[in-house]
Amino acid sequence: MSASLSADINVSPLRRAPRIYTRDEHDISRKYISPGALKVLYRLDSAGYRACLVGGGVRDLLLGREPKDFDIATDAQPEQIRELFRNCRLIGRRFRLAHVRFGPEIVEVATFRAAHVDDSDEAQTSDEGRILRDNIYGAIEDDVWRRDFTVNALYYDIHDFSVIDYVGGVEDLKQGVLRLIGDADVRYREDPVRMLRAIRFAVKLGFKLDPAAAQPLTTLGHLLEEIAPARLFDEALKLFHGGCALQAFAEMRQHGLFARLFPATEATLAHLDGGFPATLVGRALASTDARVAEGKPVTPSFLLAALLWDALDAERAKLEGTGMAAPDALTLGGDRVISQQVARLAIPRRFTQATREIWALQLRLPRRSASRVPRLLEHPRFRAAYDFLALRAGAGEPLHELVEWWTAYQDADAAGRAELLNALSADGAARPRRRRRRRSGA
């Protein structure tokens, strides 16, 4: 990118002629665009509106990757879009969007946005600069300056199949640089989630984060505490379930952002920097990345169990120190740790409940007997709890023999399982005796 172009990107929105890449100058083919997105693009174009594929879809197609989503930008306003598509629903107050559904596919359509007008009811900004409402419509040359990164501000125009580049995004794709559009301090204050998006896109694309975009992350991280916990949970899922969780985690910690999402976890990891990859959290993140790479399912519950395990262990130790029984200490400690966490990330109850069950089974898995083992094996969280037990063993807890036993039991046939259970009884590992209760009034 030239020095003059780079300077233009880091000032207020400027109007200048875009670089137009004609059909023979880029590799985007319509056969790689979803049928639903093409229907929307063609219908808008036929109705006389400008219709462009924009954002990550264009970026990924230019990189030779398969896009996950196809977003569309147009000069048609939301109500006009709804008139064209019966299968359309308008959503959002902060940003008014149209969702056009084709079976399981939802195509998101946004109207070109323009700069804020201070006295407009359709655009509101907080005292800190955060955008609260953003429904000022404009043209494509206005809309481009409202986007976050240069590589996400490329438009594929269905009318002539050209790629339109106002900000040098194509060149940044070639150079592998993630560059913010506009002044970083202003853009991050407009929407603090952009800081997390900067980390996510940099590690996902394997790009270098431009120094101008990286420098403010540490000083502005506190702005994330103003964001709705539900939105932060959605962004955390994208960070940790995108196949680059371990790298994203390291980058977030480097810039002080992870502590804003998981303060209890950061507190327990503060003294482990030297050997972090071998810790429980490091192994859980690496395991998540491996499962994503293999196309296996991942769930927030398992990773949450690992992220908060050390915090739970500390809380449980305090409660047991007061004389509380281990199962009760684990239950109450888990409630406290999770309550603190959901104040930062609005984690749905179905995930936190599964995390609690994984933790509870850590106390039950060592208590093996002929009656207990089959019931544990049928528990819906058994496999996750077993994997978590193995993760703990790999992180250094003295659980290898227990993990080996459960591994052998799962792999054995009926005779082999019976033999393993008989060996437990012979070794004195059967159900522990219960204490007799004293009779009152004796």
Domains by residue range for the chain, with CATH: 3-191 (3.30.460.10)
Q: Which of 7-21, 25-39, 370-384 has the lowest mean pLDDT?
A: 7-21
Per DSSP, the three-state class of 183 is coil
Task: State residue 254 phi and psi, 5-degree precision.
Answer: -60, -35
Q: Is 127 a catalytic residue?
A: no
Lookup: tokens for 67: 């896009």
pLDDT at 442: 37
pTM of the model: 0.84
Sole residue written with tokens 């159900």:
431
Comparing CA positions, the residue from 64, 69, 66, 65 lying closest to residue 53 is 69
Lookup: tokens for 222: 């506190």
Average pLDDT rounded to a whole number, residues 35-63: 97
Share of the chain above pLDDT 90, in %: 81
Q: Is 148 a catalytic residue?
A: yes
* Structure confidence by residue, pLDDT tens digits, 71-88: 999 999 999 999 999 999
pLDDT at 12: 42
Contact 123, 117 (CB under 8 A): yes
Query: Quick one: DSSP state of residue 436?
Result: P
- Give 385 or 440, the one with higher predicted confidence: 385
Contact 243, 237 (CB under 8 A): no
Tell me which of 69, 183, 185, 387 is the catalytic residue: 69
* Structure confidence by residue, pLDDT tens digits, 119-156: 445 444 545 544 444 568 999 999 999 899 999 999 99
Lookup: tokens for 428: 């004195």
The whole-angstrom separation of Cα 365 and Cα 372 is 9
Per DSSP, the three-state class of 220 is helix
At 31, the pLDDT band (50, 70, 90 cuts) reads very high
User: Regarding beta strands 131-134 and 123-125, do their DSSP bridges make them parallel or antiparallel, or are they unpaired?
Assistant: antiparallel
CB contact set of 228 (below 8 Å; sequence gap of 6+): 346
Q: Is 71 a catalytic residue?
A: yes
Query: Quick one: DSSP state of residue 92?
Result: -
- Give 59 or 436, the one with higher predicted confidence: 59
Tell me which of 8, 60, 71, 134 is the catalytic residue: 71
Average pLDDT rounded to a whole number, residues 316-339: 96
Tell me which of 8, 75, 134, 148 is the catalytic residue: 148
